[in-house]
Amino acid sequence: MLAKRIIPCLDVRDGRVVKGINFEGLRDAGSILEQARFYNGEMADELVFLDISASIESRRTTLEEVLKVSGEVFIPLTVGGGISSVERARDAFLHGADKVSVNTAAVNEPELISRIAERFGSQAVVVAIDVKKVNGEYIVHTHSGKKPTAYEAVEWAHRVQELGAGEILLTSMDRDGTQEGYDNDILKRISTSVHIPVIASGGAGNLEHLYEGFTKGHADAALAASIFHFRTYSIREAKEYLRDKGIPVRL
Phi, psi of 13 (to 5 degrees): -150, 130
Residue 56 has pLDDT above 50, yes or no: no
pLDDT of residue 27: 62
Range with the lowest mean pLDDT among 87-91, 177-181, 184-188, 244-248?
177-181
Q: Average pLDDT in the 237-248 region?
A: 98
pLDDT of residue 64: 84
Among 130, 176, 183, 220, the active-site one is 130
Total count of domains within the chain: 1
**214 domain-assigned:** yes
Cα→Cα distances 7→110, 121, 133, Å:
26, 21, 25
pLDDT tens, residue by residue, 200-222: 999 999 999 999 999 999 999 99
**15 domain-assigned:** yes
pLDDT of residue 58: 45
Q: Rounded to an integer, what distance in angstroms lies between the CA atom of residue 33 and that of residue 113?
A: 29
Residue 42 has pLDDT above 50, yes or no: yes
Other C-beta atoms closer than 10 Å to the C-beta of 245 total: 13
Other C-beta atoms closer than 10 Å to the C-beta of 230 total: 12
- Mean pLDDT across the chain: 91
**77 domain-assigned:** yes
Q: What CATH number is attached to the domain comprising 193?
A: 3.20.20.70
Q: For residue 112, what are the domain limits?
A: 5-244
Q: How confident is the model at residue 79 (pLDDT cuts 50, 70, 90)?
A: very high
Residue 1 has pLDDT above 80, yes or no: no
Residue 145 vs residue 246, higher pLDDT: 246
pTM of the model: 0.92
Residue 91 annotated to the active site: no
pLDDT of residue 31: 87
pLDDT of residue 25: 54
**250 domain-assigned:** no
**79 domain-assigned:** yes
Q: Rounded to an integer, what distance in angstroms lies between the CA atom of residue 167 and that of residue 151?
A: 18
What is the b/e burial string over 34-66, where b = at least 16 CB atoms within 10 angstroms of the residue's CB? Answer: ebbebbbebbbbbbbbbbbbbbbeeebbbbebb
Q: Average pLDDT in the 78-87 region?
A: 93
**Where does residue 232 fall: left (phi above 0), alpha (psi -120 to 50 degrees), or beta otherwise?**
alpha
Q: How confident is the model at residue 59 (pLDDT cuts 50, 70, 90)?
A: very low
**249 domain-assigned:** no
pLDDT tens, residue by residue, 156-213: 999 999 999 999 999 999 998 889 999 999 999 999 999 999 999 999 999 999 999 9
Residue 130 annotated to the active site: yes
**251 domain-assigned:** no
Q: Average pLDDT in the 37-46 region?
A: 94
Identify whether the C-beta of residue 180 lies closer than 8 Å to the C-beta of residue 204.
no
**138 domain-assigned:** yes
Burial status of residue 213 (CB atoms within 10 A of its CB: 0-12, 13-18, 19 or more)? buried
Cα→Cα distances 169→31, 50, 64, 135, 166, Å:
24, 12, 24, 23, 10
Residue 60 has pLDDT above 60, yes or no: no
